[in-house]
A and B are shown apart, each in its own frame.
Chain A
Amino acid sequence: MRESPRVVAYVATTTLLALACVVVVVPTAPAPDPWTVGMLTAVGVAGARSLVKRLMNGVDVSVMFIIELAALVLTGPTGAILVGVAAIAFASGMPLVVRTFNAAKQVLQVALASVAFTALGGEWTGPSHGHDSIPRDLGLPMLGVIVTMFLFSAVAVAGIVHIDTRTPFGEVFAGIVRSLSVPYVGYGVLALLLVVLWDDAGVGPLSAALVLAPLFVARWAFAQYAAQHAAHERTVAALVTAVEAKDHYTRGHSDRVARASVLIGRTLGLSQQRTSTLHFAGMLHDIGKIGVPTPVLQKTGPLTDAEFETIARHPVRGLEMVREIEFLGEALQAILHHHERLDGRGYPMGMHGMEIPEFARIIAVADAFDAMTSTRSYRGARSVEAALTELRACTGTQFDPRFVLALEQALERSPWEPEVEGDGTAPRFETAPASRASVVQHDAPRPTPADDVDVDDVDDADEADEADDAGRRPDAGPHPVPTQGGST
Chain B
Amino acid sequence: MTGLRRAPLLTPAAVVASLATLLAVAGVAAAAATVSAHGLHSAPVVVAFAASIAVGECLRVWLPGDRDAAPIGTAAAFAFALVGEVGGPGLAPLSSSVVVGAAGLATVAGLLPHLLTARTVVLDGPAHRFVALVVLVLLWREVPLGDDPAVRVAVGFGPDRWPVALMMLVAVGVALVVDALLAACVRFGRESSRLGAIVRDELRALGGLGSAIGATGVLIALAARPMGLLALPLFIAPLLLTQFAFRRYARVRATYGQTIRSLSRVTELGGYTETGHSRRVAELSLAVGRDLGLGERALQDLEYAALLHDIGQLSLAEPIPGGATVMAAPGEQRRIADLGAAVVREAGVLDTVATIVERQTEPYRRRLQSDDVDVPLASRIIKAANAYDDLVGDDHSQARRLEALERIHLGLAYEYDPRVVSALSRVLQRAD
Contacts and interface: CB of A to CB of B under 8 A. Distances in A.
B261 A324 contact: yes
Contact of A232 (B160, B256, B262): B256
A228 interface: yes
B263 A193 contact: no
Nearest to B239: A214
Nearest to B339: A242
A290 B212 contact: no
A241 B162 contact: no
A interface secondary structure, majority:
helix
A311 to B, nearest CB: 14
A200 interface: yes
Interface in A218-237: 218-222, 224-225, 227-232, 234-237
Interface in A180-225: 186, 189-190, 193, 196-197, 200-207, 209-211, 213-222, 224-225
B348 A129 contact: no
A394 interface: no
Nearest to B350: A235
B242 A221 contact: yes
Given A206-B162, A238-B346, A201 B226 contact: yes
A470 to B, nearest CB: 25
Interface in B224-262: 225-227, 234-235, 237-239, 241-242, 244-246, 248-249, 251-256, 258-262
A139 to B, nearest CB: 11
Given A218-B242, A230-B349, A231-B256, A204 B226 contact: no
A214 B263 contact: no
Given A189-B234, A217-B208, A287-B266, A232 B223 contact: no
A204 B165 CA distance: 10
Contacts of B315: 242, 245
Nearest to A190: B238
Contacts of B239: 214
A324 B241 CA distance: 30
Q: Which of A219, A237, A241, A242 has the most CB of B within 10 A?
A: A242
25 contacts: A189-B237, A193-B235, A201-B161, A210-B218, A210-B219, A213-B212, A214-B212, A215-B241, A217-B242, A221-B242, A224-B249, A227-B349, A231-B256, A231-B347, A235-B259, A236-B263, A237-B347, A238-B348, A241-B343, A242-B315, A291-B270, A321-B262, A321-B266, A325-B262, A424-B346
A209 B227 CA distance: 19
Q: Which of A206, A214, A224, A235 has the most CB of B within 10 A?
A: A214
B232 to A, nearest CB: 12
Nearest to B353: A235
B258 A228 contact: no
Nearest to B261: A324
Contacts of B269: 288, 290-291, 317, 320-321
B316 to A, nearest CB: 10
Given A206-B162, A213-B212, A238 B245 contact: no
A325 B317 CA distance: 28
A318 to B, nearest CB: 9
A242 B166 contact: no
B432 interface: no
Given A206-B166, A213-B215, A290 B266 contact: yes
B321 interface: no
A61 to B, nearest CB: 9
Interface string A303-332: 000000000000001001111111100000
A232 B252 CA distance: 8
**Chain B, interface residues (CB within 8 Å), range:** 35 or more
B interface secondary structure, majority:
helix
Contact of A204 (B162, B234, B347): B162
Contacts of B344: 238
Interface string B318-329: 100000000000
Q: Which of A217, A246, A320 has the most CB of B within 10 A?
A: A217
B216 interface: yes
Contact of B208 (A193, A220, A325): A220
Given A235-B349, A246-B314, A203 B252 contact: no
B149 interface: no
B274 to A, nearest CB: 15
A57 to B, nearest CB: 13
A213 B75 CA distance: 13
A239 B266 contact: yes
B128 interface: no
A217 B209 contact: yes
A228 B162 contact: no
A476 B317 CA distance: 53
B248 to A, nearest CB: 5
Contacts of B237: 186, 189
B222 interface: yes
B346 A241 contact: yes
A134 B349 contact: no
B331 interface: no
Contacts of A202: 159-162
A219 B350 CA distance: 23
B259 A232 contact: yes
Contact of A234 (B271, B314, B348): B348
A193 B236 CA distance: 12
B215 A210 contact: yes
A243 interface: yes
Contacts of B226: 130, 134, 196, 200-201
A242 to B, nearest CB: 4
B211 interface: yes
B359 interface: no
Contacts of A222: 245, 248-249
A72 interface: no
A93 interface: no
A322 B265 CA distance: 9
B311 interface: yes
A238 B347 contact: yes
A448 B238 CA distance: 28
Contacts of B262: 321-325
A424 B346 CA distance: 6
Contacts of A209: 215
Given A193-B235, A200-B226, A231-B256, A214 B346 contact: no
Contacts of A320: 269
A86 B80 CA distance: 39
Contacts of B160: 202, 204
A458 interface: no
Contact of A214 (B162, B241, B249, B347): B241
B241 A193 contact: no
Given A196-B226, A211-B219, A243-B266, A325 B255 contact: yes
A229 B238 CA distance: 23
Contact of A217 (B159, B212, B256): B212
Given A215-B238, A228-B249, A294-B318, A234 B349 contact: yes
Contacts of A224: 249
Contacts of A300: none
